[in-house]
Chains A and B, each alone.
Chain A
Amino acid sequence: MKAPRLALLLRLIVATATIGGAAVAFTDVAFAQAGKPKLTVKLSSAKVEVGEPFTYELRITTEGGDPEVTQISLPPGISKVGESAMQGGGQTRQTIVTWQLMAVKAGRYSIPGPPIAFGRQRVVPGALSLEATPSTGRRPNQLQLPGGFSIRIGGGDDDNDAPTASEKAELALATAPDNLIFLRAVANKKTAVIGEQVTVTFYAYFRANFHPEESHDAPFDAFRTRSILEDRDTLQGPLYARAGQDRFNVKVLQRIAAFPLKTGVLHTGTAKMKLSGFRMGGLTDRESNDELITVTEPPIEFRPPGYRFGDVGQFTIEAQVQARRIDEGGAVPVLITVRGSGSFPDSVRVPDRTGLEWLEPEKREDLQVHDGTITGWRSFGYVARVKDVGSVDLGAVSLSFWNPAARRYEVTRAELGKIEVTRHGPAPSSSATPIAPVDATAVDPFVGLSTPRAALGSYVAVRPPFWGDGGLLWALLAAPPLLVAAAFAGSLGLRNARARRAASADSKRALSEKALAEAAEAEARGDTKALAAALERAIHLAVEDATGLKSRGVLMADLPRELEALDVAPELAAAIHAALVACESIRFDPDGASAHDLGEQARHVVRELGHLEAAAT
């Protein structure tokens, strides 16, 4: 039977490409011959179960034209579920044809490649082997697409299905930033110390097939990074998650072990991608969120001497001195190996001391990703040049690190032990003449420097002034002049008060009040004459105080008129006149009138005059 030609110009824009190289392991067969179409064929899996869909992908790269692909010829036991094709490019064209297949019977199969015609050339890819095992019920209706994406076959749209066991609750989002596809970055922790691993995973949430045209990883500017995408935990099957009301396919694009290099609120940056797809129109940009990690120093409390920022993890140190006996002036190789997991140190503390020179180490390492962490060993091949002779103690190498799991510092140490350095030639005699340095620059500029101090001496710590940073300084500086000024002001005020008081005591009003008091005393004594004299005096003083009129020098008959001329009410002027007349009368006829009534009359007049004076004031 002649296979019908497949109409490749259908241009079914169904993305079947990989994203970021994050595909599952494929069986690859590649053909690359100059002048001929370049072919790549692969199966999504070399071992499937009966009923489990898989794909056969054919990629053809041609120059200056599109190839023609005939239908794939399948062996009995393998059935075709569907097919798709995509073409693109300019002068260099690429054609991707994907057949969705399924084994219906267990067994080993050889799937021949479909013949390809390009101009006058005819090329046939090699056959691919497939093993189909009996079904266990695993993924019966999931079709794995190239790039790790999958679609369901034999079922409808399940966007609004109830949550299923395959959905990852931890990947669910309350709302979806986009209803078709979006990128998301998730850090496994928001706080860390310098050097502590933060794992950041970048996911693609999608509900439509897409093709990544261009992608840029997040910059992680303030981090040292390593991809741990190849870790077994990362390479898992298809994921699903709810975002808002919709169910999305979720694909792990990248997983980064990031080690902060400094303190502060550090940005991971955003991963960016240009996409194309059937439901997305032209090129579409997508960008992940920017994760913020708060990075601090490990605690200063109990920090061991020699700890270096960034040494975080769990380590042990081993050391091997590869020679125990050397000649004078010789060197001894020392291999120091750090094993463990975490942010491996770039160097270890070797016992630096006078007479021992450590040359730059040669580093080797074998670091793997295990359970999401960097695990393995790093070795430092030192050469120690020994300047002393005899039995020389090399000391110990040590590594201080912060163990984030135990949240404490730990120190791993390895003793290097002693080596024997044998002298060549006679020992220098103590009586020998010292050899003068050939080069004047060889003179030690620090000769005679005082010896180190063996104990902590006392000293007076410089403290901030006792007035601190507040306003006490200003108060101190301003206080003396202000106190003096206050004293001056007080003194002046006191003097003025006294003067006012003295002046007040001599006023007409005061004298009038005093006269009234004397009148009251006279009334109490029954001394009518004295009473009359006091009341008369009180009235005259009150008149003078209120009007300025010296009424004693005015004829009694003229007094009302004079008072009225000074704006005193006629009634009050008459009352004043009457009171004075009464006083005069009682002086000559003490029994003629009631002393009490006279007193009341005079007091009333004085009171009214007081009101008059107050109103004038």
Chain B
Amino acid sequence: MSTAPGLRSILLTAIVAAATIASPARADDAPTTPEAIFQSGAEALKKGEHGKAIDAFEALADRGFYNPDASYDRGIAYVLRVRAGADRAGDLGRAAAAFEEALLLRPDDHEADVALDRVRAELTRRRARKSRSSMDARPTLDRLVVGLASEQTWGLAAFVASLLFALGLVLRQRPAGRAHVAGSVLAPTAFVALLALIPLTLGARHLRRTARPGVIVVDEVYLTDEDGKSRGGDPIPEAAAVEATERHADLVQVRWGAISGWIPLGSVRLIGPDSTR
């Protein structure tokens, strides 16, 4: 005896519906350790499931877990979403932020460097397509010099200069001879070096304690004052690297090149561990 097609259809629908109605799963089912979350994200990336991968890598960032490989994969996940044509506003900026973070954590990560260049190039191309000029901000000289080395490097150099200055003073006490001459040259030279290195160390320390790198993750954002009133001028484009300093309500103060101002907190992605706390 055959079942009527209509009845079979109803039965099939009911079975499908019953199968797809799920009971709530506990959060315990979700991976909890950073390593497990990373693995779930990496597997999702392998399957092309960029949505799930982004969720996993963003969850890692939310937990304050930093690893250049996790950051790199996060960037790749956003790029994958862009390539799939399912990109959302700011995806390329977020990808750039992820690659910047990977480079921050591992400065010699060549792949992250290349990926960051590709993302920025694509953004420049998109801006050009919209007849928007490509804007580039150059850091001021002080930031450029201070940024040449870390605070520890500057500090150690200053310490060495201090040691040499002390040595020069000792040698200079010799009554005569080569030692006295060496001391007479070494002491003032080291003193001048010390005078130069101390401000650099203090500048690097100030940056470490007050500024946090960030990347713009919206199409473009205009600077405002502390009350949110627009200051005019050129906008900061997506994927631009900025320094975030102070936070006030929903605004954050950023420095982009030589200019600084306030932008909405949601328009910038702060990267790397927070050293300002």
Is A352 a contact of B22 with CB atoms below 8 Å? no
Contacts of B16 in A (CB 8 A): 320-321, 324, 417
**What number of A-B contacts does a CB cutoff of 8 Å give?**
212
Is B55 a contact of A464 with CB atoms below 8 Å? no
Q: Does B105 contact A (CB under 8 A)?
A: yes
Q: Does B130 contact A (CB under 8 A)?
A: no
Q: Which residue of the partner chain A has the closest CB to B104?
A: A462
Is B76 a contact of A452 with CB atoms below 8 Å? yes
Mask, A147-171, CB within 8 Å of B = 1, is 0000000000000000000000000
Cβ of B56 to closest chain A Cβ, rounded Å: 5
Q: Does A553 contact B (CB under 8 A)?
A: no
Q: Does A400 contact B (CB under 8 A)?
A: yes
Contacts of A487 in B (CB 8 A): 170
Q: Does A518 contact B (CB under 8 A)?
A: no
Chain B residues 68-90 with CB under 8 Å of chain A are: 68-70, 72-73, 76-77, 79-86
Which of A318, A400, A444 lies in contact with B27, CB distance below 8 A?
A: A400
Which of A280-288, A296-304, A526-534 lies on the face that meets chain B? A296-304
Contacts of B63 in A (CB 8 A): 300, 303
A457 to B6, CA, bound (A): 58
Contacts of A412 in B (CB 8 A): 22-25
Which of B139-147, B158-166, B222-230, B255-263 lies on the face that meets chain A? B158-166
With A302-B27, A444-B83, A473-B201 in contact, is A478–B20 under 8 Å at CB?
Answer: no
Is A415 a contact of B59 with CB atoms below 8 Å? no
A398 to B55, CA, bound (A): 12
Q: Which residue of the partner chain B has the closest CB to A453?
A: B69
Contacts of A390 in B (CB 8 A): none
Q: Does B97 contact A (CB under 8 A)?
A: no
Contacts of A473 in B (CB 8 A): 155, 201, 205
With A304-B30, A349-B51, A459-B105 in contact, is A357–B73 under 8 Å at CB?
Answer: no
Which of A358, A450, A476, A488 lies in contact with B114, CB distance below 8 A?
A: A450
Which of A317, A352, A455 lies in contact with B69, CB distance below 8 A?
A: A455
Mask, A276-315, CB within 8 Å of B = 1, is 0000000000000000000000001011111100000001
Is B85 a contact of A415 with CB atoms below 8 Å? no
Mask, B190-213, CB within 8 Å of A = 1, is 000010001001000100110000
Is A480 a contact of B27 with CB atoms below 8 Å? no
A488 to B111, CA, bound (A): 56
Chain A residues 332-358 with CB under 8 Å of chain B are: 349-355, 357-358
Q: Does B184 contact A (CB under 8 A)?
A: no
A355 to B222, CA, bound (A): 36
Is A452 a contact of B67 with CB atoms below 8 Å? no
Q: Does B35 contact A (CB under 8 A)?
A: yes
Is B51 a contact of A353 with CB atoms below 8 Å? yes
Which of A198-206, A368-376, A403-411 lies on the face that meets chain B? A403-411
Contacts of A302 in B (CB 8 A): 27-28, 30, 32
With A305-B37, A350-B51, A395-B49 in contact, is A480–B163 under 8 Å at CB?
Answer: yes
Which of B117-125, B174-182, B237-245 lies on the face that meets chain A? B117-125
Is B48 a contact of A459 with CB atoms below 8 Å? no
Q: Does A413 contact B (CB under 8 A)?
A: yes
Q: Which residue of the partner chain B has the closest CB to A450?
A: B111
Is A459 a contact of B62 with CB atoms below 8 Å? no
Q: Does B275 contact A (CB under 8 A)?
A: yes
Is A480 a contact of B162 with CB atoms below 8 Å? yes
Contacts of A434 in B (CB 8 A): none
A450 to B118, CA, bound (A): 11
Cβ of A342 to closest chain B Cβ, rounded Å: 13
Is B84 a contact of A354 with CB atoms below 8 Å? yes
> A353-B48, A480-B162 given. 11 additional CB < 8 A pairs?
A305-B58, A349-B51, A353-B50, A409-B27, A412-B25, A441-B129, A455-B69, A465-B151, A465-B152, A477-B194, A480-B165
For this complex, 11 residue pairs linking A to B, each with C-beta atoms less than 8 Å apart, are A318-B22, A352-B49, A395-B49, A408-B26, A412-B23, A445-B121, A452-B72, A453-B73, A462-B105, A480-B165, A488-B173
